[in-house]
Structures are given as C-alpha cells and as structure tokens.
Amino acid sequence: GEASSATVTGASTYWLREGGSEIFTLTGTGFSIDQFNHFDRVLGNKVYFVNEADTLECPVVLFKTTATSILCETIPRAGRPKLDRKYKVVLFVDGVEADCDKYVEFAEWDSPKIRKITPRMHLPGTLVNYYGWLKSSHFRVHNISNPQETGNADFNYIKEVYLGNVECAFYDDEKEEFYGELTGNSLYCMPKTKYIGPMNGSLLVTEKGASKHDKYNMYVDSQDRMYLTHTYAG
C-alpha cells in the first residue's frame, strides 16, 4: 500500500482487561483530524488489535482525537480464542496503515483476587484482614465535596467489601477513620454478619469488577464447603 506519514510513538498501556470498557490511548504524529467520517468508511483513524487467530476493533472516541493523540474504548474479549492473548496494534489513518510497533496483551489475572482472610477462625465482630491482588489502593470517595482527599487519581477504587453476603465495613463512622491501612495487597474491615460457619470474602473495584478467589488457598470443611475464614460461637 501507499506509505503513511502517520507514526505511533506511544501507547498508554500494554496490559488490557478481558472485560473491555477501557480507554486505550495512542500518541504520535500525523493522525487524521477528520472526525466526521461517518459516511466514508476509509477516512479517519481506525484502531485494531490483530493476531493470527483474531481481530478486535477498538472504536475511536472521535471528539477526543487530535493530530497527535487517539483515544479508543476497548470491547470485551469474551468468547474469543483463549490461546493467544497478545495482539499487534494496527492503526489506519485515512485508509493507510500507520507506522506502529505497539502490542497489547489481555490479562487473565486482571480481576481482583483474594488470596487469604485472617484470622482464619474468629468470633463474629472481629476485625479481619483481606490479603491478595486488590487492584486498588483507594476506597470509594467519602467526602463528595472534595474528592481529591482520597487521592482517587486513577479512578479505580474499592466500592464495596463483603464477608459472606453481608457488608464488611472498611470505614469506622464513629471515629471517622479507616479500620486499617489499605495497600494494593491488603485491607482491614469490620464484618457486620452474625453468621456462624464457613465464609468467603469479596470486593468490588470500579473498572475491575468483582473479585475472584484463589482456590489453591481455600480450606474445605467437613461438608466439603470451600471457605477462606470461619466464625465460631463465643
């Protein structure tokens, strides 16, 4: 084909989520600023992720596009070939393939994952610790009038935490403080459940979805129920 004057020099990330709805940004030079190409399928910028088994389009967010920056929103990769998760980024500018050496890979492990809950045996109402791959070191914004206070610059934050099917509070409303330090690997919360028996924890992270369990670290009780923590009557 004809040589393109467009060149990609940067990509916002290498890892993408299977679930889609992620903004992916390409930076470079010579991109098309013809936004209004609805009637001409060739004009404008078209972003694809391509490998031998699969092609995914990444629909461009037209109103955010400039001559040096293209934003597109990823689509879910569900039901696609599991074998090859790595794709070459291919950009067409006004019908001509741009010079681009970027790749992306769809991560299997990108959901939050809880590896363990301690203490493993405890009385109801005992502060518990969740350890794992939490995917965020921010809780949801408490002070709506000043969202900067929680430092949610990355916009991925933990919305809800559960033990069993009941909320596990990470914020002490009376003392107006968190129950413990939150890192990307560890959080503390106060269970509200009165249930006695085996339980699992879960959390919801914006953009990343609901947590999964690391089944290799789970315990099994006498009735073959898998669990991460167990309450007993005092």
Q: Which CATH number fits domain 7-108: 3.40.50.720, 1.20.1250.20, 2.60.40.10, 3.40.1190.20?
A: 2.60.40.10
Name the token pair of 38: 């609805």
- Whether 115 and 217 have beta carbons less than 8 Å apart is answered as yes
pLDDT tens-digit series, residues 85-143: 899 999 999 999 999 999 999 886 667 889 999 999 999 999 999 999 888 888 875 54
User: In this predicted structure, what is the pLDDT of residue 142?
Assistant: 52
Facing residues of 118 across strands? 129
pLDDT, position 150: 45
Tokens linked to 46: 């078209």
Give residue limits of the domains in the chain. Answer: 7-108, 111-231
| Cα(4)–Cα(75) distance, integer angstroms | 27
pLDDT of residue 54: 92
pLDDT given for residue 10 in this prediction: 97
Q: 191, 148 in Cβ contact below 8 A?
A: no
Position of tokens 């006498």?
222
Cα(99)–Cα(6) distance, integer angstroms: 6
Amino acid identity of 56? L
pLDDT at 147: 45
Amino acid found at 205: V
CATH superfamily of 111-231: Immunoglobulins (2.60.40.10)
Please classify residue 177 by burial: count the beta carbons closer than 10 Å to its beta carbon, then call 0-12 exposed, 13-18 middle and 19+ buried: exposed
Using CA atoms, how far apart are residues 57 and 88, in angstroms rounded to an integer? 12
- Number of other CB atoms surrounding residue 219 within 10 Å: 14
Note whether 7-108 and 111-231 share their fold.
yes
pLDDT of 141 reads 54
- Signed CA dihedral, 225, 195, 186, 145: sign only: positive
pLDDT value for 39: 62
Decide: pTM greater than 0.85: no
Question: Cα–Cα distance between 87 and 187 in angstroms, integer?
Answer: 35
Residues of the chain with pLDDT under 70: 1-4, 35-40, 78, 81, 108-110, 141-155
Give pLDDT, residue 2. Answer: 60
Distance CA 178, CA 8 (A): 44
Enumerate residues 6+ apart whose C-beta is below 8 A from 141. 147, 149, 150, 152, 157
